[in-house]
Each structure stands twice: as C-alpha cells, then as structure tokens.
Structure 1
Amino acid sequence: MDGLPAWADVIIVGAGPTGLVLACELQRRNVDYLLLDREEYCVTSSRALGVQARSIEIFEDLGVVEEALANGVQMHGERLFVDGAVAVDWDFDKCDSPYAYPLILEQSETERILFTRLLELGGKDCIKRPVEVKKIHIGRLPDEGVSVMVEALPGTKEVDDDQVETHVPPEEFVPPSKTIRGRYIVGCDGARSIVRKACGIPFPGSTLPNEFIVADVRIKWGVPNEVNKFNLMSANGRMICCLPLTKNRWRLITIRRTGVSDGEIVLDPSYYTKAPTREELQTLVQKVVPGSLIDEVLWGSCYSINSRCAAAFKHHNAFIAGDAAHIHPPLGHQGMNVGIQDAHNLGWKLALVVNGGAMSSLLDTYDQERRPVGESIVYYTSVGYKELIEAKGWVKWSMKNVLPMVFSINAVNRALSHSMSMTSIRYPPSLDETLVGRSHIPGAIQPGQRAPDAYLGMINEKRGTEFVRLHQLLATPHSSLLLLVRVPMTGESEQKGFIGWLGEMLGAHQARKDPGVARALESAVHLSADVSRRTGVPSRSPHTGTRLLLIFTAGKASIVPSVTRRKDGMEGGSLLHMLQNVHQHFARSIGLSREDLLIAWDVDGEVVKNYKLATQLDPFDHSGAFVSIRPDGYVSHHGLMDDHEATDSYIAALDKLF
C-alpha cells in the first residue's frame, strides 16, 4: 500500500471499459487521478462484444481507432430464426459516420487496447490494483471532497530489483489499509456499485426471474458461420443468441430460469450463481437447435437480467457511470457503449473544473445530459423483453408474420440502424445555456447534436493541401470553433472567378466588391478574439484553449486552389497571399500562432451539406456562420456571423462557464 498516494483530485473506482476511458480522458488533460480496481488484471474473457459507431468515433478521439478496427470485425446485420427457419434477415443501414457499421470487438481486446493507450499517455503510476474499496465518505460541498478507505487484496504485486514479480500467498496475507482523499469520486464499478450505495442513490427498476448464460464454446451445428451477422434463434419457448468469433469458436447467450426476481438479492455482492457446465449448455442448446453438439466450453459466466436506471448520476462530489448507473437487456448491443459515452461526457468536464478554472456547477450537466440517455435506453431495450425471450403465442406468431414486413420498410431499417449506432443522441439545452445553447439557425444541425464529419482540404503555406476528415481535426482534448465563410464561384462575383477574389479579401477594394464575405471574415476575427480572451488557445492554455478552424466553402464540391507561389503572380500566388493575409489579420487581432488557426477548404461541400447550412449561406448576404464544438464532439452553440444575438449568447455562455 506504500505506492498509494494520500491525495488524488479524482478517484475512479473500476477499471473496466468505462473506467479506462475516463482515465484516458483525465490523463491526456493532465488531471491528478487514481484508478482503483479489485481485479489484478484486465479481463481475459470476451463478455461485451458490440462497439457502436459513436463509440468507435470516441476511440478515434482517444487515438485507438486503428487498433480497434484491426482487432474487430464489422457487423453488417442480424438474423432471426423461428423454429429453424429465417424469419428476418436484417442488413443494417449505413449510419452517418465514417464508421458505418458496428464492430464486434471482444471486451478483453477493448480493455487491452484502452489499458495500453493509458500507459502510452503516461498513466502507469495512476493505476492501483488489486485493491478493494471498503469505505467511502462523500462531502456535501465542493471543498469538502471525498475520502476512500482501501485494502490491498491477495496477489498484490511486488517487484524486486530484478523486475521479477512475486505474489503474496493468500494464507500469509494480512490486508493493509489506507485512506485516500480527493475532490471527486467516480463509480465505474458495475451493477453492484459500492459508490452508488455509498451515495444512497436509488436504483429503481425490475429483475426478471431468469439470468443470462454467456459462454464461448466450440460447437458442431448447422447455424450459418457468417462472422458479419448476429443470430437470434427461437424455438420451444427458448431463445439463443450466437455469433461466430472465429472459424470454430462461438459466443452463445441463452437463458437460465432461476425464479429469483428480487433486485436486493441479485445485486448483493455476495450473490453467486454457478458458471454453466457443458452438460447444461448442451441441454439448453438442444431445445432450440436439435442435433447440436458442444465439444468444449472455453469460458462461461452468468448474470441476472435487470432493467434499472439510477435516480441520479451525481450526488454531491460523487458520480456514477456505466453499469453502476444503468443496466438493461442486451438488445441492440448498447450496454458497454453507454458507459463509454458516459465517461467521454464526464472526463472533459472534470478536467475543466479541476485544472481549467471552470465553475463546479458545470458538473451538474453530467446528470442532466446522460441520465435521460440511460433512462431511454433502459426503457426501449426492456419493453416486451420477457415476452420476446419466451416467444410464445402471439409473440411467436408476430415474429414469423409481422416482423418480416416491418424490417422490409426502408424507413424502419434506417431509423433502427441509426438509433442503434448512437450517433443521433441529442442533449437538451442547458438550464443556463452554457454547454448547449438555443437554436439560432432553423433547419441546421442544432446545439446538443453530435457534430457531423466532413471531408476537408487543409491549406498550408508550406505543404500545400492535405486532405483530412473534420473528425480527425476534432480529435484533441480541446473545444473547437468552426468559422465558415461562403466564397463566390465564377459567375457569382463581379471579379473573374473566386481565385481573383481571394487575393485582396481583406482589402477595402474587395469589401466594395463582395461586402458580405468581407463582413463575415471580419466577424470571424472578432468572434475568435472574444472567445480566445475567455478560453485561451491550445498553445497557451492547454487545459481550456479553443482551437480555431477557418473553413472556406463554395457551397458545393469544388477544386481546392493551389497554394504554390507562381512566378507570374497568378492564381496560386493569390491564394498564398490570402493565407498570409488571414494569418496576419488574426495574429494582429488575437495574437495567434499559426498552429492555433487551421485553414481548410470544404472540398465536397460536406460542411455546408452535413451541417445543413446550404440555404442559410450565400456570398453576398449571410456569408458566414460559426459552430462551437465541445471536446466530446457535440455542438454547443451556433449562429450566423452577422447575428449579434447568437454571438452574444455564445460569449455570455463562456462568461458563465469561466
């Protein structure tokens, strides 16, 4: 226990996917934190599998998306078999994301990838395991903080001078204890959360008198071995879900009837049920798929079927996330994803309060934003679930005769696929409009919605044009401010094409030619100055800085002008002169370094299209717009450049926040 510090600003209990994402978020923002877990190592079994598009985008933000994609398999759909025959063969509709389909990634791999990333970020000394939290005290006021008493568990690692790990035998082990104090505690410790119980937060809902059996097996049967589709099979009042993980290894999920439906019992840490045997699994599978033969059970576990959402996700200086806050049936493969997104929402807010000087009231928005999401997912995954897994009478008839017609409707497929991807989650306006403001551009992407991706040409004076996606540029610990300027194309301007126009964009001559564009650019400079004075810029304010991204758009697909200086001073030289002009103008007004201002071209018109600004922007009237994007990738505020009510509302929100 000597390695445990006496203080950490944030104490995280639980090092599953939710806790690891939160730790990565805090680590890359240089927050003093401690990650505690009672298990000595990350899980080695597969457990949760589905990673939805929104969570894959978070992996991109954390810098692990390539490894996740390399170790996972895209899931393109699901099949429903009733009495041995296919009733529904569902192909997912592509969602609005560069990661159009869910990913099958075993939880063991997810944890390994996140744990490795945490070590790469420098978090080795912040992880303490195996330890058990024995007692928690939570202060009511922000300056009262929290305290946690922990005990070391048998197997605590000791490393000698030769870097050889030894372990204390359990029979010789006397558990030392230590009290750690901090500002905040976050319970990522599962459905039986000790943090939630210490807070006294109710966990209302229901428990079915069944439990899931989850196992990885080697099996001989006639189920199609297609790795890109999940299978649901119903027969004789039983249901099995299955997915081939490799050529001869399958994940099975089925039901064991227990008769225990008391949540106080099944959520008690002492409650235990036996792992499934090969004989038990063989009997259950035979009832659904006769003739099947299980050769080997590689791993198996059981857990109760609950539909519960905590009455609050925040209690004074404590928070809960993941299964500690919500548990539900596995329809739609949502469970682990909700926890990952809880952590992504909370991490940057904790960092702003701890290191960035933001008001502690900012943390109240975690409950305001994430609890409605948890409640909604618990509700929609639980309605009719008991009837579904038993599949008798009218339910069975509907599965055979109604569901095939429903899933054949394109609009239904699109809505279900997009809902499952979790890219359509929208946060409500903040009570004081700090994190989610009011709408100022009807019909556009609204505050509280996820910021869409777009294809951009990054314009650089030395390297020319580099093509990137907007989400790649947003993958930083900072907020971002998009400044959109609509430029005229040939035939729209009094000058000969937009290349000629670019050269003197900031000059008085051009202001007479295309005053709307000139005003938009001047407004962008002034807004950037106002924002930078309050939040700083990343090069000078690493905890709170706002990145500025100036995007020129022709409103549709267009060729990016060359940046290379030409000897005759024609087109390339004009754009180079424009870039120099823009950087000088921003530097004079704000004092920006060149890395704090990125300049891009809307290559395919996707910024205008995806942010739904096509009808609002034109090069002569409303030539500019701004979109403020939070560190978690959601729009906070937006408006047209010449809409003073929109810009004033945005600046007022920053004043309240800091």
Structure 2
Amino acid sequence: MSSFPSSVEVLVVGAGPTGLTLANCLQRHGVDYLTVDLNEKAVDTSRALAVQWRTQEIFRDLGLIDEARAAGRHIQGIRVVINGKETLKGTLPEVSAHYGRPLVLCQSETERLLIENLTRLGGGDRIRRPVEVLSLTPTDEGVTVTLRDLQAGPEAPTHTMTTRYVVGCDGARSFVRKSLDIPFEGKTIPGEFVVADCLLRWEVPSHDDCTRFKAICAGGGVLFCVPMFAKAEEAEAEVEEVTAPEQVTETPPAPPAPAPEAKDEEEKAEEPQAETTEGAKEGAEEQKGEAVPEAETKEGTPEGEKAEGAAEEEKKEGEAVAKTEEEKEEVKPHLWRIITTVPVGKEGPSKTSPSKEEVEEIIKKRVPSAELVDMPWSARYSINKRAAHLYYKDKRIFLAGDAAHVHPPLFGQGMNTGIQDAYNLGWKLAFVLKGGAPTQLLDTYEAERFPIDCQTVRRTSRGFPGIFKGGIASRFLLGTVVPIVWTRPALTDRLAGFISQTQQAYPADKGVIGPAAVHHAIVPGSRVPNASLDVLDLQEVEGKTEAVKTRDTPVSVHELLSGPHHTLMLLVAMESAPEHAAPKSWTNWIPGCGEPRRTTEEGWLPDVSQKLSSLACEMTCKLGKAGETFSGVRVVVVVRGAADTLGNACEAIKNAIEKCCTEGSGCVAPEVLYCDDSSHDLLDLYKIHMWPGKKAGGAFLMIRPDGVLSHIGYASDSYATKKLRDYVEKYLIPKKEEPPKPQEETKEETAPEQPPAAAAEQPTAEDVKEVVTEEVKKEEALGETEEEKEEGEGEGEAVTAAPAEGETEQKEEATPEEGKKEGKGEEK
C-alpha cells in the first residue's frame, strides 16, 4: 500500500502526456508535488501520434528530444488520391523551428520517455498508481483532497491530504471537472470516429511514400493513413527490404502482363527488323530458339528446333510468373494508422471497439487491393467539440489538456495543445510557489491559453465535416482546394503555422505581454523563432578590445533560452540592414509615425550602451542572476556589424555595465554572453530593422521561461521600457508586506470613541433653550404664512397645510440632540 504525504503544494490528477509534462516542469523547478492516476499502468497502445514542431521544442527544453526523435518518424509531406488518381504530392513547408518536420510517435512511447526523463530529474517516486480521487473541497488556504489507493483494493481506507493547488489533467471524462460542476460547453458532432493501427500489405512500398501523410477518397468515403514505425532504425530496414515497384495504385490494378513478354519486347527492340510479317515472326521464333543454351539444342534436328524453342518459352513464362508471385509475397507489410468515420447505427453509438473484419471492410471499400495482415489496436469514439474555462474555485483548481477542451482529431492538435497548457502553467506555478511571485501571475494562464484552446476547437471543427463526410464535398476539398492552397506559399505557410503551433500568439490584455513597440517586428506574445548566433569572447589585443569567436559551430537561440529563467536580449546594430529587408511604408518618414527616421549620428554608441546596460543591471538587481536565484535573468548581447566593429560595441556595453554597477548602491552586475549576428539571421528572422543611431541603434527583447516574447522595444523607447518594468514589478517580484501602522495613528482613529471627546459633543441646557425658542419662532412664522394661503387660495390648500402643523408638533417633541443638529443645519 502506498503512503501519501499529508500535504503537497501541487496535486496533479492524471498521468497522461499533459500531466507528465506538468510533472517534469514542476520537478525541474523544485516544487513539492504529487501525480496520481486512476490507471494501474501507463498506456501501452499508440493512441495520439503527432508530435508537432512546437512540442518538439518543449521536449528539447525538458531534455528528452534526442530519445523522442530516435523512437519516432518524421513526416515529409502529403499525398492525396481521388478515385485512384493522384491530385497532390507535396512536401511540408519549412517552419522557423529548431525541428522542421512533425514527428510520428506513439503515445505509449511519449509517456515512457516523459516518465524516464522525470526519473532522471529525481521525480520517479512522485507518480502513484492506481489512485482514485474521491472528493475535492476548496478552502481558504487551498484544497482538501480525499484519495484511495486502489492497489490495496476497492475497500481500502481513504486518505485525506491538503494541497495549495490542484491541476486536473485526467482526460475528457475528467473527475475534477465533473466533481466541481464545471460547465463543458459545446456539442457532439454526428457520426463515429474509427481509428486503427493496421499492418497492411498494399502497393505503397517506396521510402518516399512511407514518409507522407495519405488521404484517399474513394468508395463513398475518405481514408486517412499515417505511416507508423516503432523505431526509425526499424523503419529504414523495412523500407530497404521492399522489392515491389514504386508505382502506387489505390484502385484495383489491371492484371499485370506476363514478365516474359516484356522481356521479349526488349529483345525485339535490339533485333534487326524483318521485311515481312511472316519473316519477322519466323525470325523472332528462331532467335528465341537460339537463346536456348547450346547444350540443349545440339541434340535436336533442324526440324525440331522450332518446337524446342516454343517449349522453352513456355518454361520461361512459368518461371517468371512464379517469380512475380514470390516477389509479391516478399513485400513486407507496413504499419499504418487508419482514420475514418462511419455513420451511427439505428441502435445508437457502439460501445465496443471495431473488429478486424469491420476495419478490413472499411479499407476494402477505399483500397480494394489492400490486404489487412494484422490489427494491433483499434478504437471507436464519439466526436465532440467542447471547451471549459481553465481555473475555478478561487483560482485553486486548474484544468489542462482534454479535461478542458476536446475537438475532432484533425491536424493532430489534441495532445500537443494539452502539452502546451502544462508548459504554460508549470513555470507560473513554480514562480508563485518557489519564487514568491504574486498570485496574479496565475490569472494569465486562463487569459493566455483559453483563447488558443477555443481557436483550436473552432478551426478543427470547421474543417472536419467537409473533409471526412465523403462524396462531392470531400472530393472538392481534397481534389481542388487543397492543391490550390499547396501552390500558394502564403497560404501554405499560414496553414503550417497553425498545424505546427509555432504561430500562436497570446493576447496583450493583462500586462504580462507588452505592446508591439517595434513596427513590423515579431509580436509580443509569440513564440521566439530559432536563429543561429556566433558566441564571442572579449580579448585585449595591443590595448584594444577584440571580439573573437569561441566555437566553430554557431549556437541556436533556443539553446540559450533553455532553462527556467528569463532571458534579456540586448541588440546593437553597428551597420544598417540591407535595403531590401526594410519594410516599405509611407508612414516611416513622417515624424512620430512608423519607425524612427534613419539618420547618421556621431557618438550614438555610448548613449545606446548606457540605456541598454542600465536596463540589464536593473533587471538583474530585481530578478537576480540566472542559476543563482529561482527567478533569475540571463543577459545576452547580440551585435551586428563588421568584424572590426564588434569589439567596439562589446566594449561599450561592458564599460557601461561596470559604470552602472559602480555608481549604483547594491547593484548586481549581470553575467553577459556576447554573440555575433553578422549573418543577419536573428534580426532578419525577427524582422527587427535597426541602423546606427540613437533612435534605432539598440533594442531589447525580454523572453519568458516558456520561450514566449513578453516585451520588445528600442533602447530609446521609454514607454516600452516602462511596460517591461511594470511587468517585472507586478508579476515577478514578491510583494513586500506593509509594516504595521504606528500606535499614534491608531489612537487618532479611535479618538472619537474616547469619553472626553464624546462628552464635548453633549448639548448644554442653554443650547437646548435656544433651539426650542428658534423652533417656536419658525412655527409662528409658518402659521401666518399658511393662514394667508388659505384666505387667498381656498379650502383645498388648507388641507395641504394641515400636515405642516403635525410636523411642527413632532419637531417640538424632538430630543435635545436632534434639536442641536437641526439648529446647526439652520445656521449653515
């Protein structure tokens, strides 16, 4: 029986890809957490396959990308076949990512790699199976959770523990979501989804086709096929062993012509042509006879040579046919993920997984020549499009992954979206729990991820019915629209950006994402693209500072960003960018609009260096150095310019930092990494257009631990700098407790309750007499006025005047305190 701690800081419910990713994030940040799962062991089936570009970057940051790439297979392109006719055979566009192709990796392998990586980090004992969560009770200080260890049996005693936060990563049927009555808004799409891992023997043998995603529209439906292999090495070996021809035919192929006839045609092409048809036939037959080995023809007579040649021809035909059959049998079957939809039966959705016979019938309708050798796994489920908000109950309970959103499995977005949820929430929980950051930082999880999740549900739901429905709609989309899109680079890049999840941008509505202060450049809230830089080392040569490259191979930006820290990147331009790279806008030359005007200035470098260095020292003082404090910052200086100017820029930044730290009291000097961008890789990719001068000679970028750009601006832009300071002070720096108020202030607040003060307010007898006298005079004057009104206006007005007399009587009976108040009011 497992023993549970009495309390943890974070309880993760669910040990799927989302929960394990969150566990890895919390483990490397040193957070006290526990992960529980209802299943006895991790999944041993393929399930979710696609590992998109952005997810591979996350795996790289966590430290398991090499194992993932070795265990999976990369998809190079797409192939569309409509009724046996190929309408598209394209290659996936390049994305500005560290890894340029999506990866096919079984979910069982993904979970295994995440668990192994968690064990390497020291968190192997932080996963408990099988554990049932019985209840969740939010309190003022956290959540009280009741658990039961099912390993000891269903009647095992329960255990109660407290936690500050609970994260529900327990799938589409989430207990966390249901137990708290969290709405799961959306609907169920008609139809049933059928997926199966099929070992198929069909005419798809070439290596090129086994790396492409296939869409086959035939037989009144659509069949999507994803190539699968357990390991890349096994995949390569299988492809090399394939001996069938490379021509692919999805419809039943025509009966193949006998191989001997094809060979005879080649022989005839080399033979001299006869003058007559009869002579050609006889000559061909004689030459066929001459092709027989000499040992077999010497014994025959000239009259029997023709008969012997015919017999030998028949023998060759038989051998060729047998050889063809053997080659067909030698075609090794390949493992494919089959995805399609089927209508719901009259009895409603089926509760059982599809059988091998049912799947084979579906495949035969689309590809009659296919042979289903084996089916290791299959599943059937309903198709939903739903989404729930990501935190509830005083922001103590969060949802992530399928527990918060489900949608059609189009473009392979489901698991990847859940992993990004966990990656976004992990560092924020760690900063609040370990770094002392304000809890307002957790509000940004909902603000950032919920719009992205809803967008994914909306886009996959729109494209799903038309593509999977079959018939005219599917043929039009796959046969006409998709090929047109694939020939338009702008549309293809946009589609690839959505599928790869590299072009998602968080909104700037909470202050955690700054304004787009640099026109046409990368937008804050976006994932930072990968670029290559040369690392520099500052050396003194003959009294002059020179920047020398320290390594032959460049370093990637994502390598510099790896780790649980912020990165402040300072950019200095010692030369102008190529003219063709500058954006053309009629507002650029209007003062105050667009980008700063390009001017040639003298002495601009010290000014820019001072501003950038001051910002670096300030951020380091507030957050600390990366690696020394939990929420530290790493400073990277990127210089673009000629080789003889790199040293000047680096020396200017270095001197400015030393001066700033010397003049400031208690200032922490940052550790700076100097890099060279003379190839224009980073600035061109980020579209930051800079040129020497005070206006645009320097710029800064603040990058969060999850690789998202939070702020960008020129060194001369005080507004962008202020927004960066506000972000750090509001979301990252622990709030200082207000000191207790001095005792004197407390006395002043309670002074009105002191007896002497109260006594001073009591009215005297003379005050009461004066008030009564004034009230009597008022009544007499009021009575005279009412009499005049009665005489002039009639009896009706007398009825109206009567209440005034009653009011006068009530005023005469007022207490002394009330009398004094009224008296003061009259004086005013």
TM-score (normalizing by structure 2) = 0.67
Please state how far the C-alpha of 1:357 moved relative to its aligned partner: 1.4
Decide which of 228, 239, 249 is 1:245's aligned counterpart.
228
User: Does residue 190 of the first structure (1) align with residue 268 of the second (2)?
Assistant: no
Find out whether 1:601 has 2:688 as its counterpart.
no
CA distances 1:39-95 after superposition (whole Å, capped 9, x unpaired): 233222111111111111111111222222222222122222222322332321111
Q: Is the 8 A contact 2:133 2:147 kept in 1?
A: yes
Aligned counterparts, 1:636-651, within 5 A: 636-651=710-725
| Secondary structure, counterpart of 1:96 in structure 2 | coil
Q: 2:50 corresponds to which residue?
A: 50
| Residue 338 (1) aligns with residue 335 (2) | no
Q: Which residue of 1 aligns with 2:501?
A: 422
Alpha-carbon spacing, 1:87–1:29, altered in 2? closer, same or farther (3 Å): same
User: Equivalent residues in 2 for 1:536-575 (5 A)?
Assistant: 536-542=624-630, 544-554=631-641, 559=643
CA-CA distance at 1:18 after TM superposition: 0.8
> Gaps (5+ residues) in structure 1?
157-167, 267-271, 490-512, 563-570
> In the alignment, is the contact (CA less than 8 A) between 2:518 and 2:712 conserved in 1?
yes
Letter in structure 1 aligned against 2:442: L
2:217–2:474: 8 Å Cα contact kept in structure 1? no
Q: Hey, what's the Cα distance between the residues in 2 that align with 1:643 and 1:387?
A: 49
Does structure 1 residue 117 correspond to structure 2 residue 117? yes
> Aligned partners of 1:210 and 1:78: how far apart in 2?
25
Task: Please list the CA deviations of residues 362-412 of structure 1 after superposition, one character each: whole Å capped at 9, or x if unmatched.
Answer: 111111111111111111111152342221234434533443333322322
2:523 to 433, 446, 450: 446
- 1:231 Cα shift? 1.1
Letter in 1 for 2:143: V
Does 2:86 match 1:86?
yes
Whether the 8 Å contact between 2:613 and 2:653 is mirrored in structure 1 is no
User: How far does the alpha carbon of each residue in 1:533-584 deviate from its partner, in whole angstroms, 9 at most, with x for none?
Assistant: 3222224312x11111122222xxx55989xxxxxxxx8xx89977874674
Give 3-state SS (helix, strand or coil) of 1:540's partner: coil
1:30-45 correspondence to structure 2 within 5 Å:
30-45=30-45
Given that 1:232 and 1:242 are in contact with CA atoms closer than 8 Å, whether structure 2 keeps it comes out as yes
Q: Quote the offset at 1:26 in angstroms.
A: 0.8
- The 5 Å alignment of 1:601-620 reads 601-614=676-689, 616-619=690-693
1:529 and 2:526 correspond: no
Deviation track 1:475-498 (CA, whole Å, cap 9, x = no partner) reads 110111111122259xxxxxxxxx
Larger CA Rg, structure 1 vs 2: 2
What is the aligned counterpart of 2:550 among 434, 452, 465? Answer: 465
Please say if residues 344 and 632 of structure 1, whose CA atoms lie closer than 8 Å, have aligned partners that are also in contact: yes
- Distance in 1, matches of 2:46 and 2:691, equals 49
What is the CA–CA distance in structure 2 between the aligned matches of 1:611 and 1:405, rounded to whole Å?
29
- 2:332 counterpart of 1:351: no
Mapped to 1, the partners of 2:200 and 2:343 lie a distance apart of 23
1:206, distance to aligned residue in structure 2 (A): 1.9
Q: 1:553 to 1:403 in 2, by over 3 A?
A: closer
Determine which structure has the larger helix proportion and give its number.
Answer: 2
Which of residues 599, 604, 607 is equivalent to 1:519? 607
Q: RMSD of the TM alignment (CA)?
A: 2.8
Q: 2 CA distance for matches of 1:620 and 1:643? A: 10
| 1:516–1:622 Cα contact (<8 Å) kept | no
**Matches of 1:175 and 1:608 in 2, distance apart?**
61
Q: Conserved in 2, the CA contact under 8 Å of 1:13 and 1:19?
A: yes
Q: 1:464 to 1:383 in 2, by over 3 A?
A: closer
Q: Post-superposition shift, 1:351?
A: 0.8
- Deviation string 1:149-174 (CA, Å, 9 cap, x unpaired) is 12112xx3xxxxxxxxxxx7x7xx64
In structure 2, which of residues 146, 160, 165 is the aligned counterpart of residue 149 of structure 1? Answer: 146
Contact 2:620–2:669 (8 Å) recurs in 1: no
Paired with 2:20 and 2:566, the residues of 1 have a C-alpha distance of 22
Task: State whether residues 184 and 387 of structure 2, in contact with CA within 8 Å, keep that contact through their aligned partners in structure 1.
Answer: yes
Instruction: Give 2:514's aligned amino acid.
Output: G
1:255 counterpart = 2:341 = yes
| Further displaced range: 49-58 or 248-257 | 248-257
Q: 1:43, 1:515 → 2: CA distance?
A: 64
- Aligned partner of 1:176 in structure 2 is 157
Structure with greater strand share of residues: 1
Does structure 1 residue 297 correspond to structure 2 residue 385? no
- Structure 1 Cα separation of the partners of residues 377 and 210 of structure 2: 19
Pair 1:521–1:125, CA change in 2 (3 A): same
Q: Contact 1:237 / 1:389 at 8 angstroms: preserved in 2? A: no
Per-residue CA distance 1:445-469 (angstroms, 9 max, x = gap) = 1211111222111223599523311
Question: Given residue 700 of structure 2, which amino acid in structure 1 is its aligned partner?
Answer: F
* Offset from partner CA, 1:18-55 (integer Å, 9 cap, x none): 11111111111111111111223322211111111111
Structure-2 separation of matches of 1:94 and 1:214: 29
Matches of 2:654 and 2:566 in 1, distance apart?
A: 25
Residues 580 and 470 from structure 1, CA distance in 2 versus in 1: closer, same or farther, beyond 3 angstroms? same
Aligned counterpart for 2:202 among listed residues 213, 221, 230:
221
Q: Tell me the CA shift for residue 146 of structure 1.
A: 1.1
Mapping of residues 258-407 of structure 1, within 5 Å: 258-259=344-345, 273-316=351-394, 317-407=396-486
C-alpha separation in 2, matches of 1:346 and 1:422: 17
Letter matched to residue 33 of structure 2 = Y
Q: 2: CA distance between counterparts of 1:592 and 1:65?
A: 35
Give the drift of 1:190.
Answer: 0.6
**Matched AA of 1:651:** R
Aligned residues: 592
Check whether the contact 1:218–1:294 (CA below 8 A) recurs between aligned residues: yes
**Range moving further from structure 2, 83-92 or 193-202:** 83-92
Cα shift at 1:343: 0.7
- For 2:480 and 2:668, locate their aligned partners in 1 and report how far apart those are by CA, in whole Å: 64
Residue of structure 1 in register with 2:242 after alignment: none
Q: Distance in 2 between matches of 1:92 and 1:314?
A: 40
Write the letter of the residue equivalent to 1:252. Answer: I
Task: Specify which of 573, 578, 586 is matched with residue 486 of structure 1.
Answer: 573
Distance 1:230 1:560, change over 3 A: farther
Counterpart residue identity of residue 550, structure 2: T
Runs (5+) with no aligned partner, structure 2: 230-237, 239-333, 540-547, 577-600, 734-828
Mapped to 1, the partners of 2:644 and 2:110 lie a distance apart of: 39
2:135 matches 1:60: no
Q: Per-residue deviation at 1:256?
A: 3.8
Q: Secondary structure at the match of 2:226?
A: strand
Aligned equivalents of 1:376 and 1:482: distance in 2? Answer: 31
Q: Per the alignment, do residues 118 and 394 of structure 1 end up closer, same or farther by CA in structure 2, a change over 3 Å counting?
A: closer
Q: Which amino acid aligns with 2:338?
A: L
Note the alpha carbon deviations across 1:279-327, whole angstroms, 9 max, x for none: 1111111111113221211122222211111144554311111111111
After superposition, the Cα gap between the structure-2 partners of 1:180 and 1:87, relative to the gap in structure 1 and judged at 3 Å, is farther
Residue type of the alignment partner of 1:438 = P
Change (3 A) 1:553 1:586: farther
Looking at structure 1, the residues matched to 645 and 518 of structure 2 have their Cα atoms a distance apart, in angstroms, of 30
Matched letter for residue 469 of structure 1: S
Q: Offset at 1:238?
A: 2.3
Give 1:341 shift: 0.7
- Distance in 2 between residues matched to 1:339 and 1:638, nearest whole Å: 28
Distance 1:261 1:412, change over 3 A: farther
Report the TM-score, using the length of structure 1 for normalisation. 0.84
CA drift of 1:217 comes to 2.2
Match of 2:11 in 1: 11
Aligned runs of 1:487-502 on 2, under 5 Å?
487-488=574-575
The one-letter amino acid paired with 2:470 is A
Secondary structure in 1 matching 2:550: strand
